[in-house]
Amino acid sequence: MTDLLIRNLRPMGAATTDMLIREGRIVKMMPGIDAPDAAIEDAKGAIAIPALVEAHTHLDKTLMGMGWYENAIGADLRGMIDNERAERRRLNHDPHRQSMRHALALAGNGVTHIRSHVDVDTDNGLAAMKGVLKTRDALRDVVEIEIVAFPQSGLMIRPGTAELLDEALAMGADLVGGLDPCGIDHDPKGHLDTIFGLAEKHGKGIDIHLHEARQLGAFSMELILERTRALGMKGKVAISHAFCLGMEDWNRTQALLEALADQDVAILTTGAPSIEVPAVKRVLGAGIRMGAGCDGVLDTWNPWNRPDMLDRVRIVAQKNNMRSDVDLALALEVCSTGGAAVMGVTGHGVALGSNADLAFVNGETLAEAVAVGGPVALTVKAGRITGRAGQPLMEAP
Amino acid sequence: MTDLLIRNLRPMGAATTDMLIREGRIVKMMPGIDAPDAAIEDAKGAIAIPALVEAHTHLDKTLMGMGWYENAIGADLRGMIDNERAERRRLNHDPHRQSMRHALALAGNGVTHIRSHVDVDTDNGLAAMKGVLKTRDALRDVVEIEIVAFPQSGLMIRPGTAELLDEALAMGADLVGGLDPCGIDHDPKGHLDTIFGLAEKHGKGIDIHLHEARQLGAFSMELILERTRALGMKGKVAISHAFCLGMEDWNRTQALLEALADQDVAILTTGAPSIEVPAVKRVLGAGIRMGAGCDGVLDTWNPWNRPDMLDRVRIVAQKNNMRSDVDLALALEVCSTGGAAVMGVTGHGVALGSNADLAFVNGETLAEAVAVGGPVALTVKAGRITGRAGQPLMEAP
């Protein structure tokens, strides 16, 4: 692989310099690098940041490019779940094609790593899983995709789902998913014993959707922590949404945060504007790994989310009332290195020796680039250019 | 003034038709209109909606075009107020130029009516007021601007401010503003007696910023209602933000909503993601007029807000968990006809006889156009084209 020399970039907004990339790593960073055999790219003063990380999404759900979907369902969780399961067939939804569109839209706009939940249910079986596994392979050089086998429709209430999850993990899913053990399955012990059992059997991690609010969510979180301890799964569990950590009961929340930190359980947020969410500074201050994601994009659930992690920085920051330049940098961090830490990616950064997984953004300062948002001028994955001006170089189907 | 014939538009997403505009009004709407003397515009299938209304902003604050402003202040209300007052001088902020930039950015993107608060304080006197009054005159044919004389820095705690407000109203401000009678002035009786007294003296309406949360805000709201009743100001008072209406105490909130409806006090929201806000459906359901605004844009307060009311539809809808096509139309309504109702504008709509104040947006359906957001394809004010593709036709200074 040819070396890549990027000229005239500003690492994190600092003074203009050059960067030499070899074998997917940053091997030199100084002004006026001479590298006669390298391919040359002029960053034209753009700011280099660690690539963005989409750490909570659903690549198998988007309807991008399929015409406008009329949503007549509203915001009831159970209603949205059942509606989507039925609509997949009616709309002739192709999970491979759709996940390619979604992942490439992200990859063209600064993202090099994606964690995607993928629905597994007894109506549609492993169709979504197969489609996204194919996408993961097809995009191996563009974006790294982690797949969570996700019982979106429930587990205990839909017999046969556990067996399908087992199969999905055998097929190559990277983590076991879960969902509102009380709110959806109405059997928290059954739900959590099943998914922790599957994780143990396959030696894989866990990422659980927890929408349950306040004391109910706190109860489920305690059951998760209990099993994490009992099975020695410290550092291998993540909780997505974790709305209960946004509750007002400071002491109850604090006890949960301390327990999460003790077991190195990671938190993934979408900064959901309409509900209480974990406070970024409080979670990070407790020493907990925290990433963020856009959630499902243009699907049967929601018309608002975009495949754009800089848009998500804005949403997370606004939700957390983050306004100062320093706070903007922190919100960006959650959406880049924070997500990388949750996904277990090492060497994610803009430093000598780091992976050459980078995004280049335009602005006078880092804060301006973050506030103005996309499109990302240039995306680099393992030293290869994968996106320009917000568009992926690989064409989507 | 020449008639304007707009061809191939879809009123609110309905079937394609033509529209004839004469003397600032929609006088004919049917396919195949013949109007040989009219100027002709092809809407190319765009959806016609009532023009957007920016009903809560601060035209005198933006730093648009002045380079990136490094915010080292964060989110403390008193800190942001004092910082801004000092920074106006240091930055050599020109309120006329800046308000022209801001208002034209809105006008180019579907807005025909703006209600702007304008700072009046004993440091900067009436400089901002004079600048925005000049902008109001300069843009008379492009966008209608209502000006609120706003004691941003406090009233009772800064002697001399009341006299300046009095002068501002005599100079042409349309309404008296106010701000957190407890939280900022620490003298709710003094504050409210002063601004209601000024409103009575000048025969003008009131629009009060009320950030105070929960029981404190509810207390201030009761004092506002008391004076509205006592002075017979029914229908002439608006409360901006009104965060206290987002509190969980359902009964307390209900009593306030009923009293607001009784006195026809209007509510203006920004859909602030980081705090409890009035629920759109609850406020409208109580029979209360409700509009929305982007608040200050690219100023010393906040890097996130944009001069874009379709972006604000998204923020308001996300905050209120509005997702269905029907809900999207409702969120749009708050940001168009809702704001018009608060500003006392009659005839705002897309119907025979309505004012020809229109925005044309692209989408398969109304919901898609709203979800995709700007730029607005075409803006029409009183039958004149004022914006194309999100850009104003009049050049900003």
B302/A323 CB distance under 8 A = yes
Q: What is the pLDDT at residue A234? A: 98
pLDDT confidence of residue B1: 79
- Please indicate if any CB of chain B lies within 8 Å of the CB of A164: no
CB-based contact, A363 to chain B, within 8 Å? yes
Say whether residue A47 is in contact with chain B using an 8 A CB cutoff: no
Query: What is the least distance, in Å, from the CA of A297 to any CA of chain B?
Result: 12
> Chain B: nearest CA to A141, how far in angstroms?
30
Whether the CB of B318 is below 8 Å from some CB of chain A: the reply is yes
**SS3 per residue for A75-95:** CCHHHHHHHHHHHHHHCCCCH
The Cα-based distances of B371 to A60, A310, B133, B367 in angstroms read 21, 18, 34, 6
Concatenate the DSSP letters of all residues of A260-298 into one string. HHHTT-EEEE---TTS----HHHHHHTT--EEE---S-S
DSSP 3-state of A377? coil
Q: What's the pLDDT at A76?
A: 85
Q: Is the CB of B75 less than 8 angstroms away from the CB of A326?
A: no
Tell me whether residues A318 and B328 touch, CB distance under 8 A. Answer: no
Q: Give the closest-approach CA distance of A230 to chain B in angstroms.
A: 37
Q: Tell me the C-alpha distance between A129 and A117, whole Å.
A: 9
| CA angle B196–B197–B203, rounded 5-degree value | 85
DSSP-assigned states of every residue in A336-357: IIIHHHHTT--S-SSSTTSBS-
Report CB contact under 8 Å: A324, B74.
yes
Give residue limits of the domains in chain B: 4-50+349-392, 52-342
CB contact under 8 A, A304 and B318: yes
Mutation pick from B325, B328, B362, B370 vs chain A, by most beta carbons of A within 10 Å, is: B325
CB contact under 8 A, B71 and A323: yes
Point out the residue among B72, B275, B371 whose CB comes nearest to the CB of A324. Answer: B72
Residues of B in contact with A67 (CB under 8 A): 364
**Residue of B324, B328, B362, B365 for testing the chain A interface, max A β-carbons within 10 Å:** B324
- What pLDDT score was predicted for residue A275? 96
Instruction: Specify the DSSP class assigned to residue B133.
Output: H
| pLDDT average per 10 residues of sequence, chain A (397 residues) | 95 98 98 96 98 98 96 87 92 97 98 98 97 98 98 97 98 98 97 98 98 97 98 98 97 98 98 97 98 97 96 98 97 98 98 98 97 96 98 97
Single out the residue of B297, B246, B251 nearest to residue B269, CA to CA. Answer: B246
User: What are the mean pLDDT values of chain B's consecutive 10-residue runs (397 residues total)?
Assistant: 95 98 97 96 98 98 96 87 92 97 98 98 97 98 98 97 98 98 97 98 98 97 98 98 97 98 98 97 98 97 96 98 97 98 98 98 97 96 98 97
- A317 in reach of chain B (CB within 8 A): yes
Q: Which residues of A139-171 are buried (b: 16+ CB within 10 A; e: fewer)?
A: beebbbbbbbbbbbbbbbebeebbebbbebbee
Encoding tokens for residue B177?
């503003």
Tokens representing A95 are: 């999970």
Query: CB of B36 within 8 Å of any CB in chain A?
Result: no
pLDDT confidence of residue B389:
98
- Whether omega for the bond prior to residue A392 falls within 30 degrees of 0, making it cis, is no
Contact A315 B273 (CB under 8 A): yes
Q: Which residues of A touch B271 (CB under 8 A)?
A: 273
Which residues in chain B are contacts of A318 at CB distance < 8 A? 273-274, 304, 315
Task: Determine the distance in angstroms separating the CA of B183 from the nearest CA of chain A, rounded to an integer.
Answer: 19
Amino acid B5: pLDDT:
98
Across the interface, do B273 and A318 touch by the CB < 8 Å criterion?
A: yes
Give the strands of the sheet with B144-150, arranged side by side: B52-57, B111-119, B144-150, B175-179, B205-209, B237-240, B266-269, B290-292
CA distance A303 to chain B (A): 6
Inter-chain CB proximity A325 and B71 less than 8 Å: yes
CA A118 to chain B, closest CA, distance in angstroms equals 22
CATH number for the region B52-342 comes to: 3.20.20.140
d(CA B348, CA A112): 47
Determine the Cα–Cα distance for residues B286 and B268; give it in Å rounded to an integer.
14
Find chain A residues with C-beta within 8 A of B303's C-beta. 323, 328, 367-368, 371
Which residues are CB-neighbours of A141 under 8 A, at least 6 positions away? A381, A382, A384
Strand partners, B206: B176, B237
Nearest CA in chain A to B277: A274
Rounded CA separation A216/A180 (Å):
10
Check if B270 contacts A (Cβ < 8 Å): no
Chain A within 8 Å of B321 (Cβ-Cβ)? yes
The answer to whether B76 faces chain A, any CB pair under 8 Å, is no
Q: Do B324 and A371 touch (CB under 8 A)?
A: no
B71 in contact with A at a CB cutoff of 8 Å? yes
Three-state DSSP state, B344: coil
Could B71 and A320 be called an inter-chain contact, meaning their C-beta atoms sit closer than 8 Å? no
B248 touches chain A (CB under 8 A): no
Assigned CATH topology for domain A92-97+118-289+302-342: TIM Barrel (3.20.20)
**Cβ neighbours of B367 in A, within 8 Å:** 68, 70-71, 303
For A185, residues 6+ apart whose C-beta sits below 8 A from its C-beta are A154, A155, A156, A157, A179, A191
Q: How many residues does chain B have?
A: 397
Which residue among A304, A318, A365 sits closest to B274, beta carbon to beta carbon?
A318
Mutation pick from A248, A318, A364 vs chain B, by most beta carbons of B within 10 Å, is: A318
Touching check for A65 and chain B: CB below 8 Å?
A: no
Q: Enumerate the residues of chain B whose CB falls inside 8 A of the CB of residue A364.
A: 67-68
3-state secondary structure of A9: strand
To the nearest whole Å, the CA of B169 is away from the closest chain A CA by 33
Total beta-carbon pairs less than 8 A apart between chain A and chain B: 95
CATH architecture of the domain covering B4-50+349-392: Roll (2.30)
| Maximum C-alpha span of chain A | 64
A248 inside 8 A of chain B by CB: no
The reply to whether A145 touches chain B by the CB within 8 Å rule is: no
| Residue among A273, A301, A328 whose CB faces B303 most closely | A328
